[in-house]
Chains A and B, each alone.
Chain A
């Protein structure tokens, strides 16, 4: 089992460029989510999905889009990158998204927007 796989590991974008951060899990988890991590802010929830075809907004959704066409994949799209989106992005999944279901994290994508 690879667990949660994120690509790329590092990315540099210019302001206004678009890109997609990829996230895949092979654990047949229903719940998937995206977080961004900034110094002193902990992890902030961007978007999440409780199953294929279902997505919802988290704490900081502006500037990001997601889709969940399969159980395995949950890509995060930046349509027009801004310097404020410079951050480390983590994808995470859990079996059900229920109250006591632990999150499994990928190793992150470090994004710099210049």
Chain B
């Protein structure tokens, strides 16, 4: 059973389109992180959200942490081919200190 469920698992869109990736759990998380991974490399941190209801923007990327701290979303505006990659959410379950658990990832392909 995946503690963090991401959807969709695959997403193929045209350049210029908008998209949203979801990260959901039945458990409460102290914080959630979003990573991006390119082929042959390790994931790289994009952002950490800490407070319930928090919204963070990183250029065309908008991250939101749910009020109940059980879900998060990543919205990309006007996607570009350079956004192509695997997007992963991760977090430490509230009562399991020291562990960072990942979702199964969303594979995004942006075609020119």
Chain A positions within 8 Å of B, measured between CB atoms, are 4, 31, 33, 35, 40-45, 48, 50, 56, 58-59, 90, 92, 97, 99-100, 102-103, 105-108
A48-B98, A48-B99, A107-B40 known; A42+B31 contact, CB < 8 A? no
Q: Does B48 contact A (CB under 8 A)?
A: yes
CB of A86, distance to nearest CB on chain B (Å): 17
Give Cα A43 to B88, complex, Å: 9
Interface pair A90/B42, CB less than 8 Å apart: yes
Is chain B's binding surface mostly helix, strand, loop or mixed?
A: loop
Interface pair B48/A100, CB less than 8 Å apart: yes
Q: Which residues of B, 1-52, contact A by the 8 Å Cβ criterion?
A: 2, 4, 6, 9, 30-31, 33, 35, 40-45, 48, 50
CB of A1, distance to nearest CB on chain B (Å): 15
Please tell me the size bucket of the interface on B: 20 to 34
Chain A residue with Cβ nearest B40: A107
Interface pair B42/A106, CB less than 8 Å apart: yes
Interface pair A102/B2, CB less than 8 Å apart: no
Measured between beta carbons, the chain B residues less than 8 angstroms from A92 are 42
Chain B positions within 8 Å of A, measured between CB atoms, are 2, 4, 6, 9, 30-31, 33, 35, 40-45, 48, 50, 88, 90, 92, 98-105
Interface pair A42/B45, CB less than 8 Å apart: no
Could you write out 5 A-B pairs with CB less than 8 Å apart? Answer: A43-B43, A103-B43, A105-B44, A107-B41, A108-B40
A100-B31, A100-B48 known; A42+B102 contact, CB < 8 A? yes
